[in-house]
């Protein structure tokens, strides 16, 4: 089947099998391997991308379903400099092995798009569809808080290790 869509601002047209999952299309046809395949069973969220601005699991969507849609992957976030959410993960050590990170960041971008000042609770709920086996989530939450502050133009909250007292 033929499918035409926009990925990170670029129009793409391809001839693919109808059973090709969006994640495989991105990774294997477009070589955009930043989007990870974790569980493949719709639970871990490592494959999260934005389709028309909404976070979805690309292992649970067929590429042919995205005909005419605009996709954003982790590769599409940085624009000369890192996206504030990427920068937040750098500043607040939001990753260890990094496997969950692209999906986690895409979920965080979608969350901050809907709510520019999420509470800690809202952040934790906002990433409930993303599993991390390394960090225990604490620094991920701090990274997203950092990003939210810088995106609003506020000073980021102090880090756990910069004790101000």
Is there binding between residue 112 and ligand FES (CB under 6 A)? no
Is there binding between residue 34 and ligand FES (CB under 6 A)? no
Count of positions on this chain that bind ligand FES (CB under 6 A):
23
Residue 126, contacted partner among another protein, ligand FES, ligand FAD, none, CB below 5-8 A by kind: another protein
Min CB(149)–ligand FAD separation in Å: 31
Residue 122, contacted partner among another protein, ligand FES, ligand FAD, none, CB below 5-8 A by kind: none
Is there binding between residue 85 and another protein (CB under 8 A)? no
Tell me which stretch binds ligand FES (CB under 6 A): 79-87, 98-106, 117-125, 142-150: 98-106
Binding mask 18-57 for another protein (x = CB under 8 A): xx-x------------------xxx--x--x-----xxxx
HEC sequence for the chain: CEEEEEECCEEEEEECCCCCEHHHHHHHHCCCCCCCCCCCCCCCCCCEEEECCEEEEHHHCEHHHHCCCEEECHHHCCECECCHHHHHHHHCCCCCCCCCHHHHHHHHHHHHHHCCCCCHHHHHHHCCCCCCCCCCCHHHHHHHHHHHHHHHCCCCCCCCCCCCC
Min CB(128)–another protein separation in Å: 5
- In terms of Cα–Cα distance, which of 50, 56, 54, 67 is closest to 16? 67
Residue 133, contacted partner among ligand FAD, ligand FES, another protein, none, CB below 5-8 A by kind: ligand FES
Min CB(88)–ligand FAD separation in Å: 26
Min CB(48)–ligand FAD separation in Å: 12
Spell 9-34 as b/e; 16+ CB within 10 A means b.
Answer: eeebeeebeeebbbbbbbbebbebeb
């Amino acid at each position: 089947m033929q499918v035409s869509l926009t990925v990170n601002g670029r129009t793409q047209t391809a001839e693919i099998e109808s059973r090709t999952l969006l994640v495989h299309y991105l990774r294997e046809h477009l070589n955009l391997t930043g989007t990870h395949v974790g569980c493949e069973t719709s639970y871990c969220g490592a494959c999260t991308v934005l389709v028309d601005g909404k976070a979805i699991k690309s292992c649970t969507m067929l590429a042919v379903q995205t005909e005419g849609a605009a996709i954003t992957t982790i590769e599409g976030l940085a624009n000369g400099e890192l996206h504030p959410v990427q920068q937040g993960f750098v500043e607040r050590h939001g990753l260890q092995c990094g496997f969950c990170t692209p999906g986690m960041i895409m979920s965080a971008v979608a969350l901050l798009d809907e709510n520019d000042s999420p509470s800690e609770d809202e952040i934790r709920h906002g990433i409930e569809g993303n599993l991390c086996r390394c960090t225990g989530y604490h620094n991920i939450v701090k990274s997203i808080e950092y990003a939210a502050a810088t995106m609003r133009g506020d000073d980021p909250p102090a880090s756990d290790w910069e004790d101000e007292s």
